A and B are shown apart, each in its own frame.
Chain A
Amino acid sequence: MILKTSLIDRRDFLKAAGIGLASAMTPTAWAATLAADAIFATAFVKRDGSFGAAVLSEAGKVLHAIDLPDRGHDVTFDPISKRSVVFARQPGTFAVVFDHTGRAAPLTIASISGRHFFGHGVFSPDGALLYATENDFDNAAGVVGIYDARAKFSRVGEFPTYGMGPHELLLLGDGRTIAVANGGIETHPDYGRAELNIATMKPSYVLIDRVTGDLIEKHELPSALHQLSIRHMDTDRSGTVWFGCQYRGPGTDSPLLVGRAARGKELQLLDMPSEILSALRNYIGSVSANPAAGTVAVSSPEGNSLVVFDAASGRAVSNRALVEVCGLAPDRTGFMATTGAGEIVERSGMTRSEPDYVWDNHMLRIEPAA
């Protein structure tokens, strides 16, 4: 067995993993949820150079903020304990658990020796375990670290991601399968954020059984696209995973950057009009699905571009120029977006600026029930 859970009995693990608790929401349920007032969590940098994470109201007001020792990246949320976790941006070595209602003091999780975080993580459906993408940097291997949320987030094991440079991970609708985007890029903290294997990089998309750590599926792009790093993902209402890529080859190439992954099928890259594709400048920073609206949005802070797709047809239905847009989250029939210029753009297009804040790459919608 690949899973290294020496600290936890398998039976307890299964129980803790909360198998069977996953909810498969119907589109109607999604619509009802997305129509209510929600809050949004995101990492930020303040203009004075300090770092933190914030929870915003739907109108973009900062409701709660915590300090971080360095730059954060993505936030994940557990609706059971109502705690959020913000992960350090790679090659950071911390994650901070916080309660936006302020009931509990923040708790810092330190990565173990020989590992650093990649900035993304996800809870098990019952909130018992936290999974985070990590770098086993001396072996240039991706792993998912497992943390026991009920034991002060002690690290209880890890399993491989069957690839290098894992970035975002998703828990799929069955509550048991974890999808990982292996970006394929080797980095090592001795060399900062330098990318060490651009000539030979090999990204992949994998499905892993989070209970056994076994590989269920592994998909690679055609070899001509080996420099197309798969990095961010979200699930549409049919359960299909949408992924966004970043291209490390010549800027004069224009590979397709957005794709879909359905279980048991090959990866499908989606064609789009060339002017929309070129506006993405070979870089997708975030992918977000709106199950109620049946749409998926991708953002490119390099191309200052936000593109929305119809999830069913796979066609781009709108694109918008927005300076340094990156953070995206579904909101009612549209998306809320944040930018590196400090703006919060509501679904209506109404923009407000928090002059003190510069928003980081990702935004998480937290449902109102939470």
Chain B
Amino acid sequence: MLKRFVLLLVFPLALLGVFPASAAVKASEIIQRSIDGFVRPAYASLHDHARNLTGSMRKLCASPSQAELDVARKAFDATVYAWSSAEIITFGPIKENNRLERMLFWPDRKSIGLRQVQAAMADKDPTATDPQRLAGKSVGMQGLGALEFVLYGDGADTLAGRDDPYRCAYGAAIAGNIETMADEVSDAWNKPDGFAALWANPGPQNALYRDGNEAVTELVGVFINELEMVRDVRLKAFFGGRPDADRPKQAIYWRSRNTTRSLAGNLSGMDDLFQASKLGDALPSDARWMAESIHIQLVNGVTTAKSVQGPIDKTLSDPRLRDTLDHFALITSSLSTLIGTRLTAEFGLTAGFSSLDGD
């Protein structure tokens, strides 16, 4: 995945406090609000949805029917949306034990994960129906991408009957494993001496965040990094700008038609985080418009993404919807400039040029 962008505060949060020491206190408040107001609720919501999803899958397996399949699919869609919001946080407990990749292995460029999922179902691999043993398998076999194929891929309609109990059991195990991961991450963020305490208490003795600047840098990096991820990786993966460059089957969640909903979820998560952190309150009065503008554009982006519905190949063949996707890309570009250049300049931050990522 994209490595985070790094921003540096040249002047230690000059607008938040005159002294570096008081700036550190202010920085810790911003981070604490981010954790309490976004991170913890986002993972709690993910956990709730994942638990509901597991329950729906088990019910479907116990008494298969079209109605139960519909319920399970709805629970899957809701879990995808919750994850799309939470996944903007790419550090902390989600980064441990490869959870980030185990929750969602995407892109599956060479269809490695798909082939493993198909092989498990063809061989009726008994170890893949146990969530605990599944957790030790390839990342492509155990996350939302794998479950999407079970619920929406070729042959998924058999889930409404009793012809393929293995497929359902495997799907229930994937859901159970997702639920376990969501539970673990949520728990880890709620621990009083866990990662949250590290992030919210920067200082010389803190190995990860030596001062308030580094802690706030991590936060601002979420927006910059995720905006680029949404635009340059998720959207460009399938939307080529001209029809012959499109790759509809590279679209994330194309089988379940959750592609644009997930993009909306990403921006919705960013809006929730931005609001919760109250970063905007730290702006001087003549720059407050930026916070308002960021909020408006994020909301606009969510609405724009959600207005594109239906199969992604049909979307791509509709000039009007292509324009909408173009508009969505434009919103994310505008937000990148607004946050990555203007907001950071107001805070005396400079975009970490040398360290952008991975070189």
Mark A residues whose CB is within 8 Å of B. 45, 73, 89-90, 119, 140, 167, 185, 188, 190-196, 198-200, 231, 246, 248-252, 254, 274, 278-279, 283, 285, 301-302, 304, 323-327, 339-341, 358-361
Contacts and interface: CB of A to CB of B under 8 A. Distances in A.
A104 B56 CA distance: 70
A200 B98 CA distance: 9
B354 interface: yes
Contact of A361 (B6, B109, B250, B354): B354
Contacts of B359: 73, 89-90, 119, 167, 231, 285, 361
Interface of B: 1-3, 6, 8, 10, 91-92, 95-96, 98, 100-102, 105, 107, 109-110, 139, 195, 198, 207-208, 210, 228-229, 232-233, 236-237, 247, 250, 350, 352-355, 357-359
Nearest to A252: B208
B339 to A, nearest CB: 17
Contacts of A196: 107, 109
A198 B353 contact: no
B237 A190 contact: yes
B101 A198 contact: yes
Contacts of A248: 3
Interface core residue of B96, B232, B352 (most chain A CB under 10 Å): B352
A190 B247 contact: yes
Nearest to A274: B207
A302 B6 contact: yes
A117 to B, nearest CB: 12
Contact of A254 (B8, B96, B102, B207): B207
Nearest to B2: A194
Contact of B354 (A188, A195, A324): A324
Contacts of A251: 91-92, 95, 208
B233 A192 contact: yes
Given A199-B105, A360-B353, 6 more contacts: A188-B109, A190-B236, A192-B228, A250-B91, A251-B92, A341-B350
B198 A252 contact: yes
B1 A198 contact: yes
A190 B102 CA distance: 22
15 contacts: A90-B358, A119-B359, A185-B358, A190-B109, A192-B233, A194-B233, A198-B100, A231-B359, A251-B92, A285-B355, A324-B352, A340-B354, A340-B355, A341-B350, A358-B353
B228 to A, nearest CB: 8
Nearest to B110: A140
Nearest to B206: A278
Contacts of A195: 1-3, 358
A193 to B, nearest CB: 6
Contacts of A140: 110
A301 B2 contact: no
A188 B108 CA distance: 12
Nearest to B214: A281
A248 to B, nearest CB: 7
Contacts of A200: 139
A324 B237 contact: no
Contacts of B102: 199
Contacts of A340: 350, 352-355
B10 A323 contact: yes
B302 to A, nearest CB: 22
B7 to A, nearest CB: 10
Contacts of B355: 283, 285, 301-302, 324, 326, 340
Nearest to A279: B210
A334 B284 CA distance: 43
Nearest to A188: B109
Contacts of A254: 207
Contacts of A191: 107, 109, 233, 236-237
A359 B355 CA distance: 11
Nearest to B213: A304
A360 B354 contact: yes
A44 to B, nearest CB: 9
Contacts of A274: 207
Contacts of B195: 252
A194 B234 CA distance: 10
Contacts of B101: 198-199
B227 to A, nearest CB: 12
Contact of A324 (B95, B236, B353): B353
A198 B98 contact: yes
A195 to B, nearest CB: 6
A190 B353 contact: no
A203 to B, nearest CB: 13
Contacts of A326: 354-355
Interface core residue of A194, A285, A359, A360 (most chain B CB under 10 Å): A194
Interface core residue of A191, A246, A325, A341 (most chain B CB under 10 Å): A191
A318 B250 CA distance: 49
A353 to B, nearest CB: 12
A280 to B, nearest CB: 11
Contacts of A185: 358
A200 B102 CA distance: 11
A250 B96 contact: yes
A360 B237 CA distance: 28
Nearest to B229: A194
Contacts of B233: 191-192, 194
Contacts of A194: 1-2, 107, 229, 233
Contacts of B210: 278-279
A341 B96 contact: no
A326 B229 CA distance: 25
B82 to A, nearest CB: 22
Nearest to B101: A199
A188 B107 CA distance: 10
Shortest Cβ-Cβ A-B pairs, 3 listed: A340-B354, A340-B353, A301-B355
B236 to A, nearest CB: 7
Interface core residue of A119, A185, A324 (most chain B CB under 10 Å): A324
Contacts of A327: 354
B208 to A, nearest CB: 6
